[in-house]
Amino acid sequence: MQRLGVRPEDFEESFVRSSGAGGQHVNKTSTCVVLRHKLTGLEVKCQSTRSQAMNRFMARRLLLDKIENQVLGKRSEEQKKFEKIRRQKRRRSRRSKEKMLANKHHHAEKKKLRKVTVSY
């Protein structure tokens, strides 16, 4: 937090009821944490555990990661994965184009052999 220049006063924190599995405990207590950074407007919602304290900790970590990505301009791991997949697909299509052109040339050569050459 110090490295990014973020203070605890910059966070707006609210607790809401979680959804999903968890039974009576989840339905009666507000364990879901919604954390908002006032300066950047980034918002995180965390309900991964049944413990409010643990969700609060995890929400802060997620929000700080988002702020770090935005402030420092680093690309997140997800973006890197998507770009890698995009590059792989591009290579695949290039390879398939080369194969297709090779097949076309081969077919054209076969057609040339069919022609009857008449010499007078």
CA distance linking residue 68 with residue 81, whole number of Å: 19
Residue 70: CB atoms within 10 A of its CB come to 13
Residues 60 and 87 in one domain: no
**What is the reported pLDDT for 74?**
63
What would the two tokens of residue 3 be? 């490295």
pLDDT digits (tens, 9 = 90+) for 46-85: 988 888 899 999 999 999 888 887 776 666 677 788 888 8
**What is the reported pLDDT for 4?**
75
**What is the reported pLDDT for 109?**
93
pTM of the full structure:
0.55
CA distance linking residue 38 with residue 59, whole number of Å: 15
Contacts of 119 (CB under 8 A, 6+ apart): none
CA distance linking residue 94 with residue 112, whole number of Å: 27
CA distance linking residue 24 with residue 17, whole number of Å: 11
Residues 33 and 68 in one domain: yes
CA distance linking residue 22 with residue 61, whole number of Å: 23
What's the pLDDT band for 118 if we cut at 50, 70, 90? confident
Indicate whether 120 belongs to any domain: no
CA–CA distances in Å: residue 68 to residues 2, 49, 60: 11, 24, 12
Instruction: Give the count of domains, the chain.
Output: 2
Strand, coil or helix: 34: strand
pLDDT digits (tens, 9 = 90+) for 17-56: 887 777 777 777 888 899 998 888 889 999 888 888 999 9
Residues 12 and 64 in one domain: yes
Residues 90 and 49 in one domain: no
